[in-house]
Structure 1
Amino acid sequence: MTATAAQASETKESTEAVDKSNPRVREMFRQIAPRYDKMNHVLSLNIDKYWRAQAVKRLRMVPGHPILDTCTGTGDLAIAISAKADPSVEVVGSDFCHAMLEIAREKRNPAKSSSRIDFLEADSQSLPFSDDTFQCVTVAFGLRNVADTDKGLQEMARVCLPGGQVMVLEFSTPRTIGLKQAYGFYFRNVLPRIGQWFARNDKSAYEYLPESVGQFPDGQALADRMTAAGLIDVKFKPLTFGVATIYEGTKPGELPAPGIQTPGIQS
């Protein structure tokens, strides 16, 4: 890790006050689940759909090996992956919030998916899969909600096939002067009020959002954590002036030939 990245990461962690314990986060998302999709589209001006499409476009999908989307929430990324994957590719979406998964299952539309898609309840810090199972392991706007970021990344790397791809899509902080200040004002003052009006929950979910983003490592700091988790060739691409960022890493080794059965999926 570079000195600058280490300092940035240390600063964020040393001031961390956000409660990301499993019970708190699970309950918060249970409460906002019924309006989660609508809120996301409104608060992001529908740009979240573009971000997910860009993530899917960068996946190196091959026939015959499954794909895992962790912290899948209501399943948007898993469903988007399934729509583009080869019919021989099973897509699995996992999340530890039952209420979110129920919505994901309702949204699943076999007519619009080219491959099979399943959703199961699982903690991203302890995934119920064998080592070396999935050709791609993804997470969209969920890694910052995992209590132990490094454990979450280690689990993603563990279940990824050698030669496979680990991808993180997450909010980040713009660096451009002016935009950074405007973005910060929107996140701290506007977004929580609109989100609270939509959600009507008592856990301040949309006050949690700017806090969790502000205290989460981004840019090179998160790339360094992916490298520490055992990934190589880690790179990142900012989207929409740095409001979101796609991070990609590869698990060392060579991807098995398409069609070779990989064990470890429990549905």
Structure 2
Amino acid sequence: MTKYAHDEILPFGSSGKEKKQQVEHMFDDIAPKYDFLNRFLSLGIDVQWRKKAIRRLSKLKPRQILDVATGTGDVALMTYDMLQPEKIIGVDISQGMLQVGLEKIIKAGLSDKIELKQADSAALPFADNSFDAITVAFGVRNFQDLEKGLSEMHRVLKPGGKLIVLEFSRPHNPVFKGLYSFYMNVITPAMGNLFSKNKEAYSYLNKSAKAFPERNDFVKILNGVHFKNTLFKALTMGICCIYEGVK
């Protein structure tokens, strides 16, 4: 499997632990403030990004959906609300994030429709050809092995099933690019430190986003693990992209 630049970016540097362990610890730590900071730092735009990504599954009418790197269950809850599938399973490496998500699902009365499991993206605990669709929102850049995680998602998709990935990218407009860089390099870590007391986490999230293979580069990686009909769509002047591929 190919190694990529973002694979080498770690939340806590040379702590002696591998990336997946560091990511798990980081998200356990910031879980209580994660939803608030997402809304605050994105000015609420991230909600619209998620909804646009989910809408790309509407024609498929998927009945069984897997949400990888589900975190606090935002996409799983939105997906149920918008698409009404039979079942959604959300997986994440962080038990702390899953606990927050479970509380939200119970509050929404959807425990029979949305199930959360702790699992590693590189070893999904599901049989081949299990799901009609898979979603991943702001999670693939945290994979320890990007190609392995994508290959696992391809494996558990049914033939004809669709993968939808939502991930940060870098704006190309020179003026906006400068403003975005300042916001991500200075404001985001400062606000992360203020509200979650974890500046390292939000510094890592920025650095990993900047190093991630975006747009056509990511599409090529999807092609390399056998996805077909791949494409990307840039959102909000290129801050974020939706990617999709079909098995």
State if a TM-score over 0.5 links the two structures.
Answer: yes
1:54 to 22, 47, 52: 52
1:81 to 79, 82, 90: 79
Q: Which residue of structure 1 aligns with residue 15 of structure 2?
A: none
| Aligned length in residues | 239
Give, in angstroms, the shift of residue 84 of structure 1: 2.0
Which is richer in helix?
2
Which runs of no fewer than 5 residues in structure 1 stay unpaired? Answer: 1-8, 252-267
1:171-202 C-alpha deviation (Å, 9 max, x unpaired)? 0000111111111111111111111111113x
- Structure 1, 104-113 or 53-62: larger mean CA deviation: 104-113
Q: Which residue of structure 1 aligns with residue 9 of structure 2?
A: 18
1:220 to 209, 216, 219: 216
Q: For residues 58 and 64 of structure 1, do their structure 2 counterparts lie closer, same or farther at Cα, with a shift above 3 Å needed?
A: closer
Matched, 1:120 2:111: no
1:49-68 C-alpha deviation (Å, 9 max, x unpaired)? 01011011111465673100
In 2: Cα distance, 1:180 partner to 1:63 partner: 37
Q: CA RMSD in A?
A: 2.2
In 2: Cα distance, 1:143 partner to 1:186 partner: 22
In 2: Cα distance, 1:241 partner to 1:113 partner: 35
Aligned partner of residue 108 in structure 1, secondary structure: helix
- The amino acid of 2:245's aligned partner reads G
Q: For residues 128 and 80 of structure 1, do their structure 2 counterparts lie closer, same or farther at Cα, with a shift above 3 Å needed?
A: same
Aligned partner of residue 122 in structure 2, secondary structure: coil
In 2: Cα distance, 1:31 partner to 1:118 partner: 22
Q: For residues 81 and 61 of structure 1, do their structure 2 counterparts lie closer, same or farther at Cα, with a shift above 3 Å needed?
A: farther
1:198-249 C-alpha deviation (Å, 9 max, x unpaired)? 1113x71011011100111100000111111110010110011110100010
In 2: Cα distance, 1:179 partner to 1:64 partner: 37
Q: Which residue of structure 2 aligns with residue 242 of structure 1?
A: 238
Q: Which residue of structure 2 aligns with residue 97 of structure 1?
A: 94
Structure 1: 4+ residue segments shifted above 6 A? none
Q: Which residue of structure 2 aligns with residue 151 of structure 1?
A: 148
Which runs of no fewer than 5 residues in structure 2 stay unpaired? Answer: 12-18
Aligned partner of residue 59 in structure 1, secondary structure: coil
Aligned partner of residue 248 in structure 1, secondary structure: strand
Give, in angstroms, the shift of residue 136 of structure 1: 0.4
Taking structure 2 as the reference length, the TM-score comes to 0.91
